[in-house]
Amino acid sequence: AQSVTQPDIHITVSEGASLELRCNYSYGATPYLFWYVQSPGQGLQLLLKYFSGDTLVQGIKGFEAEFKRSQSSFNLRKPSVHWSDAAEYFCAVGTTSGTYKYIFGTGTRLKVLA
């Protein structure tokens, strides 16, 4: 079955520290992969996406993610976290066969310490 796993429910980092949020997926074909961020009281904002080509993708707000087919992973990274990055982050797979839709992970809530 198609699924997305975000193993870390909560992560706490200090401001200025590096960040990596994990995402693993299960999907039979080549997936389309996305990371979204949801700030308190806000809708979801697209951070970055992977469709094909270069496996390291750059997004907004200084985020990047790397697609690793062998590990079925699409981890999100940022070299230096800012206090404003505190939010919930969702990884999603876009199905590429049949009716198109997203499958979301359960999210990782990021807390940033000053």
* Contact criterion met (CB below 8 Å) for 94 and 107: no
In the list 46, 62, 69, 78, the residue contacting other proteins (rule: CB under 8 A) is: 46
Q: Binding other proteins by CB under 8 A: which of 11, 13, 19, 44?
A: 44
Q: List CB contacts of 15: < 8 A, sequence separation 6 or more.
A: 81, 82, 83, 112, 113, 114
Q: Tokens 């976290």 identify what position?
A: 81
- Of the candidates 12, 84, 106, 111, which one interacts with other proteins according to CB under 8 A? 106
Question: By rule CB under 8 A, what string of x and - marks binding of each residue 14-33 to other proteins?
Answer: ------------------x-
Q: How far is the CB of 14 from other proteins (least distance, A)?
A: 24
What sign has the CA pseudo-torsion 69, 6, 19, 90? positive
Q: What mask, x for binding other proteins by CB under 8 A, covers residues 55 to 94?
A: -----------------------------------x-x-x
Binding of residue 3 to other proteins (CB under 8 A): no
Contacting residues for 89 by C-beta, under 8 A, at least 6 apart? 6, 21, 35, 36, 37, 38, 47, 76, 107, 108, 109, 110
Q: Which residues bind other proteins (CB under 8 A)?
A: 32, 34, 36, 41-46, 49, 51, 90, 92, 94, 99-107
